[in-house]
Amino acid sequence: MFLNNTIIPSVRKYKHFEQALSCPSEYVLLSEANIGNLQSLIGKCHQSGKKVLIHLELLGGFKPDQAGINLLKSYYKVDGVISSNLSALRYAKKEGLLTIFRVLLIDSRSLDQSIDIVKHNPPDAIEILPAEYACQCLELISRNLKGFDVVFIAGGFVKRKYLVEKIFHAGFKGITTSEPGLW
């Protein structure tokens, strides 16, 4: 996964979907889709030249088991997934999908556990939330994952331009945000 200071639109409201298709990012994150509208949304994304990422925990009517992940790849033609579900990410990796491990920074223990998980199951990228804390922890995380080919993405509460600049200045290659004004 190649990102270079990329803002990935996270589509939570369908009224912003068309705007996401016209943004510079090659990726669109569908954050609140469901299996009933997924095929149509993915088709429109692909027609616009966008790769589709799916937030597994927010995909309505979906079970992230091996059969479900296979269905996302073979039937729905998803390009990648974001999840904190390690089993789902393993299945997705086997299917050849892009995998983004979602890390919620709660305390130092959650940080240490996440680093350990990545060392044993390297994803293509790590999305670290919330973004403000992610900026403070990136150096530590990078140092602990030295030698791993992982892209760092920040997300969560990214609503202002100053935070976008801070995130990229900290060294992140990508940002996920549902704020259309930042796309």
Residue 1 has pLDDT above 90, yes or no: no
Mean pLDDT of 136-145: 96
pTM higher than 0.95 for the full model? yes
All domains in the chain, ordered by first residue: 6-182 (3.20.20.70)
pLDDT digits (tens, 9 = 90+) for 33-82: 999 999 999 999 999 999 999 999 999 999 999 999 999 999 999 999 99
| Secondary structure, 3-state, the chain | CCCCCEEEEEECCHHHHHHHHCCCCCEEEECCCECCCHHHHHHHHHHCCCEEEEEHHHCECCCCCHHHHHHHHHCCCCCEEEECCHHHHHHHHHCCCEEEEEEECCCHHHHHHHHHHHHHCCCCEEEEECHHHHHHHHHHHHHHCCCCCCEEEEECCCCCHHHHHHHHHHCCCEEEECCHHHC
- pLDDT tens track for 73-127: 999 999 999 999 999 999 999 999 999 999 999 999 999 999 999 999 999 999 9
